[in-house]
Amino acid sequence: MILRMPLGLSAALSAITLSAMAMPSIARAEDGHQLWLRYPPATGTPDRAVTITAADPLGRPQLKLAIAELKRGLAPQGVQGPFRLMTPADGSWPARYDHLGAEGFALSSRKVGDRIDTQIAAKTDLGLLYGVFHYLRLAHSGADLARLDVVSSPRIALRVLDHWDNLDGTVERGYAGASIWDWWRLPDWRDPIYTDYARANASVGINGAVLNNVNAKADSLTAPYIAKAAALADVFRPWGIKVYLSARWSAPIELGGLKTADPLDPAVAAWWRAKADEIYRAIPDFGGFLVKANSEGQPGPADYHRTHAQGANMLAAALKPHGGVVMWRAFVYAHDNPEDRAKQAYNDFKPLDGQFADNVLVQVKNGAIDFQPREPFHPLFGAMPRTNLMMEFQITKEYLGQSTHMTYLGPLFSEALQADTLAQGKGSTVARVVDGSLDGHRLTGIAGVANIGANRDWSGSIFNQADWYAFGRLAWNPDLSPESIAREWAAQTFSPAPKVVEAVTAIMIPSREVAVDYMTPLGLAHQMSVYGHYGPGPWVNTLARPEWNPVYYNRADAQGIGFDRTASGSKAIAQYSPAIAARLARPETTDDKDLLWFHHLPWTYRMKDGATLWDDLVRHYDRGVSGVENMQGQWQALKPAIDAERFEKTSVFLTIQRRDAQLWRDASIAYWQSLNHLPLPAGSAPPAHDLGWYKALTFPYAPGNP
């Protein structure tokens, strides 16, 4: 904008000279919609043309997608030299790649003179597509493309997103707007967003999507909704993604007019067989059913005094002829069961080990309660060697600040996967249970409850996208480090410049521990308010079911705090392998991070460093608040490197998080002090308000509530 003083006009006048050439009509909006697939324009001059060689691409839709993706991502990189995509049909297939799985790929490159020869080999076109995405991941993360040698196959067979999306367009525990499924206009209108969704999933190796909420409506199994699901399946198929449906157990009654849903009733089994046949006519590669049965009010086989195995196997038999699977959730607990909620799933499922059909996976949450900021690994892992055990993570952050808090989940996922069950001695990690290697299972799976909605940025914030990304990468290889995943993501999402990557990663890595500190430190859990699990509510004791109340979990009183799960308490530790149980039996040998999960301790209990439990607890809260402050400062320092829109959004969200962290700290401390009347440790500020003020806070219309 050039200002000048025009002659003969008021002195206040000025003029702006506008160069038409310098004004692009549309600025490229960095609104986060491109996710980690931004493929930013090259800064330098593009080099010579690339020649992509592949066997006849006609009639090979996945190969076409692979080539198109390669062109899209390669173009600005100025890569040169021949690029070969190869499958065994090509004739010159090297024997050393024979061990690749159906989805695996081998990626290699070498410098020949001034050009780079690159080759991606795979047994299938889907493998080629995954190889292309991996190549582009490397290309846009700053890798040296001249000396690649990567051989990679997924460790887990079913890598699935669970959408808790309702047929009315809302999303249970969704914090990114409405559902992206436009059920009303399906199957006619196939929104381009479905392709974008499938592409993003394929780029991180996700190969399945459960379309509807586990709190399922029978309608999703009616003919119109099967047709709608089939339309989505058609869009997803070239990207290697199968659709699954959450099945309502009582559908034979609600849709079929039967009087029962008893799994041993032949009419019920026949109804499900016919329903499976109907679905497979519309969706020949339908993945199968996800079932939440006898859990939080959902119907199930226990209504007919049948076991979970009897229920799952009946459905499995209906799907078996078509190659489908049943993913049967182990998330069960009963309001009329006085047993420690953390023990109930184990008690119900452990005795059924060996009874499930071979196309059933029992889907177990990472912890025994419900997706808390931190939970010890679920004791069912390692305890059911004759069962296909599938992991269920929650990518959407029901209990971790939802859409606005930055709490990178890579460390949470990895912590659970790397936990050692000791089931078959050292190294019996949860990852090895889930990938089947520990017990020799071939049908393996991992599910993440999606954080995807219709918001332009998909996940409610830019950084929540990293959780989707990390889930996919860990589903492919559970042993990847969360740090390396964060680096990859940061490079692709913002910039491969090392200082940007390092700075963004440095914010992400501690962020989950920061949230644990300001929300539920030292093994506390489920202290969230009644308003959508967002703010603090450690005092809450009025919810309908005892195990929904924070006081059930903190057990705090004048003397102490924590849930005794040792021999003197609920005995939950006995569900772990003996060596672990022995360690957990005493607070001194229990990791501080799980301390109050397993032990009820006096406020004056001496921690390993000599501080009292109370002082240490307060220190953790303080550390949580200052941790967010650090994140704010680190983010501000990145301002020159980040585009305005994504910078501002993240900046505002960190402001919200800082305020919420203070609220969590102050409200929690105010409540604990109302019980223990202890002074705060030196240097720790009193809560800004009295307890009554915090108790009076309401958060109406919190999103994501069922």
Question: Catalytic positions, please?
Answer: 296, 370, 398
Q: Classify strands 360-365 and 149-152 as parallel, antiparallel or unpaired.
A: unpaired
Strand partners, 394: 449
Total of residues contacting a second copy (CB under 8 A): 78
DSSP run (H or E) holding 179: none
Residues 6 or more apart whose Cβ sits within 8 Å of residue 350: 380, 383, 384, 575
The token pair at 41 is: 């324009």
Q: Interface with a second copy includes 102 (CB under 8 A)? A: no
Cβ proximity to a second copy: between 78 and 510 the closer is 78
Choose which of 188, 277, 588, 591 interacts with a second copy (CB under 8 A): 188
Q: Interface with a second copy includes 78 (CB under 8 A)? A: yes
Q: Interface with a second copy includes 92 (CB under 8 A)? A: yes
Q: Interface with a second copy includes 401 (CB under 8 A)? A: no
Binding piece for a second copy, criterion CB under 8 A, among 85-93, 279-287, 423-431, 519-527 = 85-93
Binding piece for a second copy, criterion CB under 8 A, among 11-19, 288-296, 518-526, 629-637 = 11-19
125-139 vs 192-203: helix crossing angle, rounded to 10: 80
String marking each residue 368-387 x if it binds a second copy according to CB under 8 A: --------------------
Which of 323, 368, 315, 364 minimizes the C-alpha distance to 341? 368
Cβ proximity to a second copy: between 15 and 579 the closer is 15
Question: Among the residues of 450-591, which ranges form H helices?
Answer: 465-476, 482-493, 498-519, 550-554, 578-584
At its nearest, how many Å lie between a second copy and the CB of residue 49?
A: 5
At its nearest, how many Å lie between a second copy and the CB of residue 170?
A: 8
How far apart are alpha carbons 446 and 472 in whole angstroms?
A: 10
> How far apart, in Å, do the first and last CA atoms of the chain sit?
52
Cβ proximity to a second copy: between 217 and 322 the closer is 217
At its nearest, how many Å lie between a second copy and the CB of residue 461?
A: 10
Q: For residues 303 and 348, is the Cβ–Cβ distance under 8 A?
A: no
Binding piece for a second copy, criterion CB under 8 A, among 89-97, 124-132, 278-286, 466-474 = 89-97
Count the Cβ atoms, other than its own, within 10 Å of residue 65: 23
Choose which of 81, 127, 131, 177 interacts with a second copy (CB under 8 A): 177
The token pair at 336 is: 């009329």
Q: Is 396 helix (H, G, I), strand (E, B) or coil?
A: coil
In order of 53, 194, 198, 357, 472, the CA distances from 208 in angstroms are 30, 13, 10, 21, 11
String marking each residue 455-474 x if it binds a second copy according to CB under 8 A: xx------------------
Q: For residues 210 and 163, is the Cβ–Cβ distance under 8 A?
A: yes
Binding to a second copy (CB under 8 A) within 281-310 occurs at none
At its nearest, how many Å lie between a second copy and the CB of residue 29?
A: 8
Choose which of 9, 102, 274, 688 interacts with a second copy (CB under 8 A): 9
How far apart are alpha carbons 346 and 337 in whole angstroms?
A: 13
Residues 6 or more apart whose Cβ sits within 8 Å of residue 140: 38, 39, 40, 73, 77, 491, 492, 496
In order of 402, 461, 463, the CA distances from 632 in angstroms are 18, 15, 14
At its nearest, how many Å lie between a second copy and the CB of residue 203?
A: 15
Cβ proximity to a second copy: between 50 and 551 the closer is 50
How far apart are alpha carbons 117 and 131 in whole angstroms?
A: 15
Binding to a second copy (CB under 8 A) within 583-622 occurs at none
Binding to a second copy (CB under 8 A) within 666-705 occurs at 700-703
Would you put residue 427 in left (φ > 0), alpha (ψ -120 to 50) or beta?
Answer: left
Q: Interface with a second copy includes 454 (CB under 8 A)? A: yes
Phi and psi, residue 253, nearest 5°? -80, -50
Binding to a second copy (CB under 8 A) within 200-219 occurs at 219
Choose which of 147, 185, 281, 608 interacts with a second copy (CB under 8 A): 185
Choose which of 313, 372, 396, 404 interacts with a second copy (CB under 8 A): 404
At its nearest, how many Å lie between a second copy and the CB of residue 480?
A: 27
Count the Cβ atoms, other than its own, within 10 Å of residue 350: 15
At its nearest, how many Å lie between a second copy and the CB of residue 168?
A: 5
How far apart are alpha carbons 695 and 675 in whole angstroms?
A: 15
At its nearest, how many Å lie between a second copy and the CB of residue 214?
A: 18
The token pair at 156 is: 């887990």
At its nearest, how many Å lie between a second copy and the CB of residue 188?
A: 5
Cβ proximity to a second copy: between 496 and 569 the closer is 496
String marking each residue 324-363 x if it binds a second copy according to CB under 8 A: ----------------------------------------
Which of 38, 568, 672, 677 minimizes the C-alpha distance to 340? 568
At its nearest, how many Å lie between a second copy and the CB of residue 373?
A: 20
Count the Cβ atoms, other than its own, within 10 Å of residue 16: 8
Cβ proximity to a second copy: between 75 and 357 the closer is 75
Q: What type of residue sits at position 16?
A: I
Q: Interface with a second copy includes 169 (CB under 8 A)? A: yes
Binding to a second copy (CB under 8 A) within 545-574 occurs at none
Choose which of 105, 130, 183, 236 interacts with a second copy (CB under 8 A): 183
Cβ proximity to a second copy: between 117 and 303 the closer is 117
Choose which of 62, 152, 153, 170 interacts with a second copy (CB under 8 A): 170
Q: Interface with a second copy includes 497 (CB under 8 A)? A: no
The token pair at 690 is: 């009295």
Q: How many residues does the chain have?
A: 706
Q: Interface with a second copy includes 515 (CB under 8 A)? A: no
Q: Is 131 helix (H, G, I), strand (E, B) or coil?
A: helix
In order of 65, 108, 244, the CA distances from 134 in angstroms are 14, 11, 26
Binding to a second copy (CB under 8 A) within 15-74 occurs at 15-21, 23-26, 28, 31, 34, 39-41, 46-57, 67, 71-74
Cβ proximity to a second copy: between 4 and 639 the closer is 4
Choose which of 76, 88, 101, 569 interacts with a second copy (CB under 8 A): 76
Q: Interface with a second copy includes 250 (CB under 8 A)? A: no
At its nearest, how many Å lie between a second copy and the CB of residue 705?
A: 9
How far apart are alpha carbons 379 and 366 in whole angstroms?
A: 9
Cβ proximity to a second copy: between 137 and 341 the closer is 137
Cβ proximity to a second copy: between 266 and 700 the closer is 700
Binding to a second copy (CB under 8 A) within 636-665 occurs at 645, 649, 652-653, 655-656
At its nearest, how many Å lie between a second copy and the CB of residue 88?
A: 12
Cβ proximity to a second copy: between 7 and 544 the closer is 7
Question: Among the residues of 174-250, which ranges form H helices?
Answer: 192-203, 223-236
Cβ proximity to a second copy: between 34 and 359 the closer is 34
Cβ proximity to a second copy: between 399 and 672 the closer is 399
How far apart are alpha carbons 609 and 328 in whole angstroms?
A: 44
Q: CA angle 370-374-379, nearest 5°?
A: 65
Residue written as token pair 């501002």:
648
Residues 6 or more apart whose Cβ sits within 8 Å of residue 612: 603, 604, 605, 606
Q: What is the DSSP letter of 439?
A: T
Is the N-terminal amide bond of 252 cis, ω within 30° of 0? no
At its nearest, how many Å lie between a second copy and the CB of residue 55?
A: 5
